[in-house]
Amino acid sequence: MNYATRVYDDILQTLPNVDNPTPMVRVNRLNPAPAFPLYAKLEWFNPFGSVKDRAAYYLIRDMQRHGGLSPARGIVEPTSGNTGISLAAMCAALGYRMRAVVPNRVPQEKKVLLKIAGAELDVVNDDVCPSPGMGEGSINLAKTYAKAQSERYAMPNQYENEENVRAHYETTGPEIWRQTEGRLTHLFLSLGTCGTVTGCSRYLKGRNPAVKVIAVQPSEGHDVPGLRNITQLDVSKLFDPTLIDEILEIDYHLAYTRALDLAQQEGLLAGPSAGLIFEGAHRIVARDRAGFGVMIFPDNVFKYVSSMLKHLPQLTDGTVPRSGGPGERVHE
Amino acid sequence: MSDYAHPDVLVSTDWVRAHLGQPGVRLVEVDVDTQAYAAGHLPGAIGWNWQTQLQDRLTRDILAKAAFEELVGNAGIANDDTVVLYGDHSNWFAAYAFWLLAQYGHRDVRLMNGGRAKWLNEPDRPLTPTPAAIAPTRYTASGPNLALRARVAEVLEASHRRAAKLVDVRSPDEFTGKVIAPPGMTETAQRGGHIPGAKSVPWNSAVNPDGTFKSRPELEAIYLRGAGLDPTGKTIAYCRIGERSSHTWFVLTYLLGFANVKNYDGSWTEYGSMVGLPIEREA
């Protein structure tokens, strides 16, 4: 593959790897300590717009290798959106059926994107008086399809599948190591399925055990899609606390205000989970003052317009004509 | 399960597995998420939709006897069948259907402990998307047994005169009035809060992480010593629309052996919307 010319035989060839990494961009105006360079790894440069492309590809590839997929047997997966979009687009490219089971709290943009990408969609109200440990409706409904209709659906299960970890161990981790030329001291990321943190940490600490891995999580009751508070992590079998040096819990409202800061002061059109990660990184940089940090920004803000409006209602100001309308102003 | 007051009304997933397809045993799935049955259910189970089948939508009431007989008969259930109910959310609406069947006098009705999530997450438990074949029956109901159901006048009496203990089984945020209903729910009320004098014991106090019921000593610690309920006195359970309180009604009646428990199915959607009724609010 010639990544210099950027001409490909199919969309899957654009997936990142150590020779074709997603970009890392330095944070300048918002960095509180110049002796602590801080870079954002922009995962929205993945072909389907998020870090989840990496895991999705490994999950599908593994199922293909083991004969789990066919034109008659596609995929069902519980997803907060990004994994579903990645899987749906890849299934479209490869000719498989895809069914996405999403919690109702997922922003409308993501639900529509899933349909645009060709997924059959089930929306589940996961927040109805939940009980700790009793499982989540979206996961259980996806499992039901996989069990009751196994001739039509296989479930990769991103929450338990080691391929999710392997994707980051073999791509994201080595990319960061090469892009930082081994100078990395702090890695900042968020917790969801925990595939990213477990894979990256396993690789990077293998290269340098002194690398600090700092996970940033939203406060309880949050509405940041794809992320989990520590109390919600029992669903992920990929969570390995021994690979995480520090977990910061941050008021989830800051996910949205910091995303706005990144857009307006750095030109980084980052999504709310990236905003949350940035807030965590900012606190550590201000505390430690020296180091070399990389933040993994999962996706950009384009899918979160409705979420941004909910938290930052002032964004609607000036988005409609002033009273009287443009026709009237012509005559002012 | 053997130390419960009436252990015969609770069956394990193993029991159900052993009785799949057995004549005289009818499985009925009732879920909060009404798309779950179509995705997959226990072989032979029929599905009831709580939104369209378990209430009279015109009168906003439980099914009238004739409609109930039609529902049960069309499900192929005979009067002497063993009916095993199960569903999602640790059997919320399965317990509601249990309460309905009990009111109309079905003799042998049971809950599958842990509900559909327990079955789903155990190995080697079959599921199918194929609807069960049904041979309708002529079903004859008795009742309804009004001793199982509280209406608003009785609830007011309980609140004013402490004639019965009220148990609010909703989430803490609904009890305090921080929210009127869980997010995304369309059945709601005009105000947030709770009925004066009610004790807050969220429904999920009664279940283990796998959705099964806690042991009798654990339940006694919660409902007797913790909430101060009296097994020999009168108790009324309520929630938002009567399904979570059916779950607690089942716990108090069958697992702890309370003598007089009623489910107030009008619950907060009724009480919280009535003009002039006192409420308490902490938020």
**CATH number of the domain enclosing B261:** 3.40.250.10
Q: What is the mean pLDDT of residues A120-144?
A: 74
- Would you state the structure tokens that stand for residue B202, as one six-digit string? 């969220």
User: Are B118 and B226 members of one domain?
Assistant: no
**A170 or B188: which carries more pLDDT confidence?**
A170
| Continuous H helices in chain A | 52-65, 82-94, 108-116, 137-148, 162-167, 173-179, 195-207, 253-266, 272-288, 305-311, 325-330
How distant is the Cα of A277 from the closest Cα of chain B, in angstroms?
Answer: 27
Q: Are the beta carbons of B88 and A149 separated by less than 8 Å? A: no
**pTM listed for this prediction:** 0.85
* Domain limit, last residue, from B110, B145, B180: B145
Last residue of a domain, one of B145, B175, B197: B145
Q: Flag whether pLDDT at A209 surpasses 70.
A: yes
> Which residue of A104, A122, A128, A231 is the best one to mutate when testing the B interface, meaning the one whose CB has the most B CBs within 10 A?
A128
What's residue B150's pLDDT? 98
CB B223 within 8 A of CB B258: no
In this structure, is residue B34 part of a structural domain? Answer: yes
Average pLDDT over chain A, rounded to an integer = 91
- Residues B12 and B131 occupy one common structural domain: yes
Q: Is A47 helix (H, G, I), strand (E, B) or coil?
A: coil
Identify whether residues B166 and B117 lie together within a single domain: no
Q: ipTM of the assembly?
A: 0.88
pLDDT of residue A131: 47
Looking at the structure, tell me whether residues B135 and B246 fall in a common domain: no
Binning pLDDT at 50, 70 and 90, where does residue B102 land? very high
> Do both B217 and B254 map to the same domain?
yes
**Mutation target among B37, B51, B89, B188 for the A interface, most CBs of A within 10 A:** B89
Question: Is residue B13 located within the same domain as residue B118?
Answer: yes
| Inter-chain CB proximity A131 and B129 less than 8 Å | no
Q: Chain A residues with CB inside 8 Å of B204's CB?
A: 129, 131-132, 134
Q: Would you place residue B1 in the very low, low, confident or very high pLDDT band (cuts 50, 70, 90)?
A: low
Asked which of A97-106, B70-79, B235-244, B248-257 is least confident by mean pLDDT, the reply is A97-106
Local confidence band at B110 (pLDDT 50, 70, 90 cut-offs): very high
Candidates B40, B184, B210; nearest CB to A125: B184
Interchain contact, B170 vs A129, CB within 8 Å: yes
Instruction: Mark yes or no for CB contact B203/A129 under 8 Å.
Output: yes
- Could you tell me which residues of chain A have a Cβ less than 8 Å from any Cβ in chain B? 104-105, 122, 124-125, 127-129, 131-135, 137, 140-141, 143-145, 147-149
Q: What is the pLDDT of residue B182?
A: 85
Q: Do A131 and B170 touch (CB under 8 A)?
A: no
Interchain CB distance below 8 Å, A129 and B88: no
**Do residues B46 and B119 share a domain?**
yes
Check: CB of residue A39 under 8 Å from CB of residue A10. Answer: no
| B282 part of a folded domain | no
State the architecture of A11-45+170-315 in CATH terms.
Answer: 3-Layer(aba) Sandwich (3.40)
B-chain residues near A132 (CB < 8 A): 204, 209
Q: What are phi and psi of A108, to 5 degrees?
A: -55, -35
Residue range(s) occupied by CATH 3.40.50.1100 in chain A: 11-45+170-315, 52-154
Q: What is the pLDDT of residue A331?
A: 45
Residue A332 has pLDDT above 60, yes or no: no
Mean pLDDT of A244-249: 95
pLDDT exceeds 50 at position A271: yes
Q: Does the structure show a pLDDT above 90 at A125? A: no
Domain stops at, among B145, B164, B189: B145
Mean pLDDT lowest among A186-190, A323-327, B82-86 = A323-327
Q: Is the pLDDT of residue A197 over 70?
A: yes
The pLDDT tens digits of the residues spanning A143-192 come to: 999 999 999 999 998 888 999 999 999 999 999 999 999 999 999 999 88
A233-236, long-range: CB < 8 A, 24+ apart: A233/A191, A233/A194, A234/A133, A235/A135, A235/A136, A235/A139, A235/A159, A236/A159, A236/A160, A236/A191, A236/A192, A236/A193, A236/A194
Cβ–Cβ below 8 Å for A147 and B88: no
Model pLDDT, residue A192: 85
pLDDT for the residue B2? 66
Mean pLDDT for B212-231 is 97
Kindly state the average pLDDT of the residues A208-223. Answer: 91
Q: Whole-number mean pLDDT of chain B?
A: 95
Shared domain for B14 and B140, answered yes or no, is yes
The verdict on B73 and B123 lying in the same domain is yes
Enclosing domain of residue B258: 149-271
Residues of B tagged active-site = 239
List residues of B whose CB lies inside 8 A of any A CB. Answer: 32-33, 35-36, 39-41, 88-90, 116-117, 120-121, 125, 127-129, 170-171, 174, 182-185, 202-204, 207-211, 244
User: How many domains does chain B divide into?
Assistant: 2
pLDDT for residue B183 is more than 90 = no
Residue A219: the pLDDT is 85
pLDDT of B120 over the 80 cut: yes
Task: Indicate whether B75 belongs to any domain.
Answer: yes
CATH class name, domain A52-154: alpha beta
**What is the percentage of chain A residues whose pLDDT exceeds 90?**
75
Q: b or e along B75-98 (b: 16 or more beta carbons within 10 Å of the residue's beta carbon)?
A: bbbebebbbbbbbbbbbbbbbbbb
Query: Do B37 and B122 fall into the same domain?
Result: yes
User: What is residue B31's predicted lDDT score, i.e. its pLDDT?
Assistant: 94
Confidence of residue B16 (pLDDT cuts 50, 70, 90): very high
**Residue positions counted in chain A:** 332
In chain B, which residue's Cα lies nearest the Cα of A142?
B39
Residue of B nearest to A130 (CA): B89
Q: Which residues of A touch B268 (CB under 8 A)?
A: none
> Same domain, yes or no, for B198 and B231?
yes
Domain-embedded: residue B196 = yes
pLDDT at A326: 53
Q: Which of B113, B127, B248 to substitute to test the interface with A, most A CBs within 10 Å? A: B127
Residue A199 has pLDDT above 70, yes or no: yes
Clarify whether residues B141 and B157 are in a common domain.
no
Per CB-CB distance under 8 Å, the chain B contacts of A127 are 182-184
Q: Which residues of A touch B207 (CB under 8 A)?
A: 131, 134
The answer to whether residue B219 sits within a structural domain is yes
A-chain CB neighbours of B208 within 8 Å are 133
